[in-house]
Structure 1
Amino acid sequence: MHSNDTLFLILCSAMVLFMTPGLAFFYGGLVRASSVVSMMMMSFGSIAIVSVLWVGYGYAIAFAQAGTGNYVGIDGFLGIDLSNLGLTRLIHDTLTNNDGSQLAFSGFQATFAIITVALISGAIADRAKFGAWMLFAGLWATLVYFPVAGWVFNFKTDSQGEIVTGGWLVKDIGLLDFAGGTVVEIASGASALALALVVGKRFGFTKGMHAPHNVPLTLIGVGILWFGWFGFNAGSELHADGTASIAFVNTLAAGVGGLVAWSLFERLKHGKPTAVGAGSGAVAGMVAITPACGFLTPFWAITLGLIVGVVCALAIDLKYVLGFDDSLDVVGIHLVGGLVGTLFIGLVGQSGTKLVGWFLTGDPTQLGRQAIGVAVVGIFTFTMSWLLATLIQKTIGFRVSNTDEIAGVDLVLHGEAAYAETDPRWSWRA
């Protein structure tokens, strides 16, 4: 990797890391005023626990050298490259060769793991114990994210761009996932559904009962997420080249498409477009383009955004129909949006100059490959998350009591409030 590409990747890594504080703002504005600190701490807690685990053994699991035999477990599932525990070999190679490209790549992938874990927290807002969440985050990263990242992101190509070694979903199945539609979006969405089912509904859960407390805070979060998403998608090319530029433009196009479509949907259905709807639409568009950003033209990117803006606007009401409380619509936006975007590649995608989409070639093979990838990641992550959440719920308990939930989890769990007016310890004097 050229030194310019290494610098490009470092900058993109910083942008992606910034997405998690952005998510804290986005989620923080959507919850009750008495839950803001708790919600934000779940995001910052994810940064802490996932970073420690990634340095310790996460990279060694996700990016074990296929075929070397120098790891334990099952090749492609939970293989551990023993030489990279604590990033030992990476550091040695970096210092020996004066080449930081692989270490920069490790840092880039760490930020993906962080944001994926943080995304899940939105499903259990207002009612989850912080300690239980941190335990779940560590177990989930270890047993779910690190292996799945290896299935999709760990591969090597030859001079013609053909995959020669790597994760089985990409190498053997032929899944196309440019920046993590399966690994990040579907995995977080399916896991959020599992947590919502295990932890249960918020007290008084009905439609319209839990309105966002701070819309400007949410929009600030959307803006930070959008900025970081350019690094997320363009950086996944790993090189500052033409494909990275395409991914950048497609991220803009799909985000705008989602924003416009969701706003128009609200205007037609309710008579008024909302700021939260516009922000949610932009996020939905960027979720959908994540797997497809390097495989579509900008025309199809904005088309995808328009489609998913409406689909996700409809999908967020499924929780009321089916009776599960996905507090901040992780399922409706990330699971559904990731699914639509991943399958969309099989309809109109192209890999480089090679057309692969069914509508472009008349061959549905790639759509089938995409569907297999969606099903495998969705089922695996949902099942594992349900098991982990159930284990925690039946041991230390995942949720606070109804009394603490009604009082507000910020003071109960963290001993502080986001706003002075919600903190009874403040006395107001003239």
Structure 2
Amino acid sequence: MNTLVEKIRGILALSFIFALAAVPALAADGASAIDTGDTAWVLISAALVMWMTPGLGLFYGGMVRNKNVLATIMQSFFIVCFVSVLWILVGYSLAFGPDHGGLIGGLDWIGFQGVGMEPSADYAKTVPHLAFACFQMMFAVITPALITGAFAERVKFSAFVLFTALWSLFVYSPAAHWVWGAGGWLGALGCLDFAGGTCIHILSGVSGLTACLYIGTRKGYGKEAMIPHNMPMTVLGAAMLWVGWFGFNAGSALGANGLAANAFAATQVAAAGAAVSWVAVEAIVHDKPTVLGGASGVVAGLVAITPAAGFVTPLAGLVIGLVAGVLCFFAVAVVKQHFGYDDSLDAFGVHGVGGLWGAIATGLFCTTMVNPDGANGLFAGNAAQVGIQAIGALSCIVFGIVMTLIILKIVDTLIGIRVSPEKEIVGLDVTEHGERGYVMMDSFGAMIASTNHPSVTKNKS
């Protein structure tokens, strides 16, 4: 009996040893390559980035006049839904599908075909391919939403929807492939963009400037006050953006690791530094520091650090933020006023200028001490990286301007872009959506401001 028991024990011990030996082999073959910690962080980051677009709606919504608050928020909120549909159908495949000449992905992954629960060989290798695709979906969502700040208060909702569809598929997806897609030409060139300075902020900023110039100024612009109607709403939106941006930047490490921690720290100090420098310069130039300046400074710093967060030290991130606050303040307070263009909510002044500075600053401060997969920049002895960053920025500027002009012309020809002067005076909330953001009541409960919404009737009793 004892002999039999000893044999059984020996067989079990050998089985256990073989099982342990098989684990590395399985991981090497990719069958057990998924890391639960990395997967959890990427999914949480995707949710944080999704949170940013409704936050952007509040940020923008507070800055418009009260007659356009719902229309402005609706644009960001609807984009979350609409672009998500476009992304799963074809957008992801165009951006990240098998490469075609370094310019665009193929149609192999339309409808998320082939995008499954196993890791991708070309992208995130420790998380499910679906997790990576959903994380990137949220980037695709917020990018066209940024543009809406440039043409706020004067565009038809139908025109906005058609513009968003065309721009997302034919501008964002190709540019994202250039930068991040396997085989994309900017990535192959060595252009560094950790989380979207080129294909998100520069692209949306210059597209927004192009749109506001094409559409023209708001009725009464420069002659009547067009001040933010609800600054607490704007500050709340800025705070939501700030929190979500940790998913945007630290999540782009695609893992719960030291690189994510570095990006997190650089993001925080850049945002803080830009807010401090914006408010300081504003106090000197205009004699008063404003809440809007503080909120705008935070966003400017977040924009500028986006391409650099995973390639520079936190101290360099602080410098990038401090400079961004000054540059974006003058872009908004001086350059826009000098040229007279109606970038309603400063999409170009913050995202275009901040993104351009961030892309170039990446070439100045990047170091392989932070990210061995990156490159050294000017201050680490490699001046050529600045030139590579400039090529990436310039390519997105030219592509964004040309394609946005083409799309605007198509939309304008098919359905018209701008609402009538009469509708613009009344406000887009009522004329485009049949609602009001605010309904005033007298002491007897009767409505002071009427509304066209079918669920509300006017009571004058």
State TM-score, norm by structure 1. Answer: 0.91
Question: Is residue 327 of structure 1 aligned with residue 352 of structure 2?
Answer: no
* Superposed displacement of residue 403, structure 1: 1.0
* Superposed displacement of residue 355, structure 1: 6.2
Structure 2 equivalent of residue 222 of structure 1: 238
Within 2, Cα distance between the matches of 1:208 and 1:348? 44
Question: Is residue 409 of structure 1 aligned with residue 434 of structure 2?
Answer: no
**Equivalent residue letter for 1:76:** G
Within 2, Cα distance between the matches of 1:87 and 1:215? 41
Structure 2 equivalent of residue 163 of structure 1: none
Structure 2 SS opposite 1:123: coil
Within 2, Cα distance between the matches of 1:243 and 1:401? 51
Structure 1 equivalent of residue 307 of structure 2: 291
**Match 1:75 to one of 81, 85, 101:** 101
**Match 2:356 to one of 339, 343, 347:** 339
Within 2, Cα distance between the matches of 1:365 and 1:428? 70
Question: Is residue 267 of structure 1 aligned with residue 293 of structure 2?
Answer: no
* Superposed displacement of residue 394, structure 1: 2.7
* Superposed displacement of residue 208, structure 1: 7.2
Task: List 4+ stretches of structure 1 deviating above 4 A.
Answer: 426-430
Q: Quick check: 1:42–1:118 contact (8 Å CA) kept in 2?
A: yes
Within 1, Cα distance between the matches of 2:449 and 2:367? 55
Within 2, Cα distance between the matches of 1:100 and 1:314? 42
Q: Aligned pair in 2 of structure 1 residues 100, 250: CA closer, same or farther (>3 Å)?
A: closer
Structure 2 equivalent of residue 47 of structure 1: 80
Q: Quick check: 2:102–2:185 contact (8 Å CA) kept in 1?
A: yes
Mean alpha-carbon deviation: is it higher for 329-338 or for 267-276? 267-276
1:277-306 superposed Cα distances (whole Å, 9 cap, x missing partner): 000000000000000001111111111111
- Structure with the bigger RCO (C-alpha within 8 Å, sep 6+) is 1
Unpaired stretches in structure 1, ≥5 consecutive residues: 67-73, 156-165
* Superposed displacement of residue 129, structure 1: 0.4
Structure 2 equivalent of residue 111 of structure 1: 138
Q: Quick check: 1:43–1:118 contact (8 Å CA) kept in 2?
A: yes
1:112-168 superposed Cα distances (whole Å, 9 cap, x missing partner): 00000111111111111001000000000110111111111123xxxxxxxxxx211
* Superposed displacement of residue 427, structure 1: 5.0
State TM-score, norm by structure 2. Answer: 0.85
* Superposed displacement of residue 350, structure 1: 1.1
Structure 2 equivalent of residue 16 of structure 1: 49
Structure 1 equivalent of residue 59 of structure 2: 26
* Superposed displacement of residue 237, structure 1: 0.7
**Match 1:87 to one of 104, 109, 112:** 112
Within 2, Cα distance between the matches of 1:4 and 1:358? 35
User: How many residue pairs get matched?
Assistant: 406
Question: Is residue 135 of structure 1 aligned with residue 162 of structure 2?
Answer: yes
Within 2, Cα distance between the matches of 1:140 and 1:347? 31
* Superposed displacement of residue 107, structure 1: 0.1
Q: Quick check: 1:3–1:101 contact (8 Å CA) kept in 2?
A: no
Structure 2 equivalent of residue 243 of structure 1: 259
**Equivalent residue letter for 1:306:** L
* Superposed displacement of residue 423, structure 1: 4.0
**Match 1:191 to one of 198, 207, 210:** 207
**Equivalent residue letter for 2:67:** S
Structure 2 equivalent of residue 162 of structure 1: none
* Superposed displacement of residue 207, structure 1: 7.7
**Match 1:386 to one of 379, 402, 405:** 405
* Superposed displacement of residue 322, structure 1: 1.9
Q: Aligned pair in 2 of structure 1 residues 227, 198: CA closer, same or farther (>3 Å)?
A: same
CA RMSD across the alignment:
1.8
Structure 2 equivalent of residue 360 of structure 1: 380
Mean alpha-carbon deviation: is it higher for 316-325 or for 128-137? 316-325
Within 2, Cα distance between the matches of 1:77 and 1:302? 34
1:367-395 superposed Cα distances (whole Å, 9 cap, x missing partner): 00000000001110111011101221233
Within 2, Cα distance between the matches of 1:266 and 1:47? 34
Within 2, Cα distance between the matches of 1:208 and 1:278? 24
Structure 2 equivalent of residue 154 of structure 1: 181
Sequence identity (%):
43
